[in-house]
Amino acid sequence: MGRAIAERFAAEGAALTLVDVSARRLDAAKAFVRSQLAPGAGFFARRCDVTDSAAVAALVKAAQTALGPLHVLINVVGGIRGTINAPLDEIDEERWDDTFRLNLKGTYLLTRALAPGMRDAGWGRIVNIASVDMAGAPGRSDYGAAKAAVVSLTRSLAAEYAPTIAVNCIAPGIIRTSAVERLPPETVEGFRQRTLLGRLGEPAEIANAALFLASDEASYITGETLVVSGGIPAHL
């Protein structure tokens, strides 16, 4: 999803900072996204663990040196490490803490680092990525709770940063990513059957939503969660 978002923004002429904890993924994204940039558009890419505060501070300093002020932040970090479905009594304390760290810490650190510059500039957009599992997901109680926290954080930040910075959230359903492609076929089919549209979502469909929320076309929207799920409901 992050790569699709970068490609979509590049197509609109944006200067981009790309960040990934995986050097392999980052190198693959750099090679393609750089070829899509508009003439003269700035580009910076760096491998970084965005759950590490010192690494985030160094990342932001380097990106601002390369590109100048950063006005849009898309937080696309999240997921589950380990078995996708596990009842609560099989989720140990280490997994619980890791899931919350993975889905919240990077969003917290990057927002804290970049929001002051957006306020100084008088304009900014922050888009967080949650999940339809925020509404509750048996077998994924840690992930669902962490994504619900992302939605709550979005609302809190929208109130804190108003009226200068709009902060919104996207709640994807089941999207055709590399992680999904590694799931057992019966699991993927179960997800597909939950949708009203009868198919998985594509990363580009999340990218389109992110572009809208980051644009002036969404200038009167803040504190909201846009569900992009093919009809799977997601309400707390």
Q: Which residues pair with 165 in a beta bridge?
A: 124
Q: Mean per-residue pLDDT for 77-104?
A: 93
Please indicate, yes or no, if residue 171 is contained in any of the structural domains.
yes
* DSSP letter (8 states) at residue 104: I
Q: Which residues are catalytic?
A: 143
pLDDT in tens, 93-149: 999 999 999 999 999 999 999 999 999 999 999 999 999 999 998 889 999 999 999
Please indicate, yes or no, if residue 141 is contained in any of the structural domains.
yes
Evaluate whether 221 touches 208 at the Cβ level (below 8 Å): no
Q: Mean per-residue pLDDT for 141-165?
A: 97
CATH code (residue 102): 3.40.50.720
Q: How confident is the model at residue 226 (pLDDT cuts 50, 70, 90)?
A: very high
What distance, in Å, lies between the first and last C-alpha atoms of the chain?
24
Please indicate, yes or no, if residue 213 is contained in any of the structural domains.
yes
Q: Which domain holds residue 88?
A: 70-228
pTM of the model: 0.95
Please indicate, yes or no, if residue 60 is contained in any of the structural domains.
no
For position 198, what pLDDT does the model report? Answer: 95
Answer whether residue 4 shows pLDDT above 80. yes
Please indicate, yes or no, if residue 33 is contained in any of the structural domains.
no
Please indicate, yes or no, if residue 58 is contained in any of the structural domains.
no
**Short-list 193, 202, 178, CA closest to 232:** 193
Please indicate, yes or no, if residue 209 is contained in any of the structural domains.
yes
For the CA atoms of 82, 83, 85, 86, what is the dihedral angle to 10 degrees?
-80
Evaluate whether 51 touches 106 at the Cβ level (below 8 Å): yes
Please indicate, yes or no, if residue 40 is contained in any of the structural domains.
no
pLDDT, the chain, mean: 95
How many distinct structural domains can be found in the chain?
1
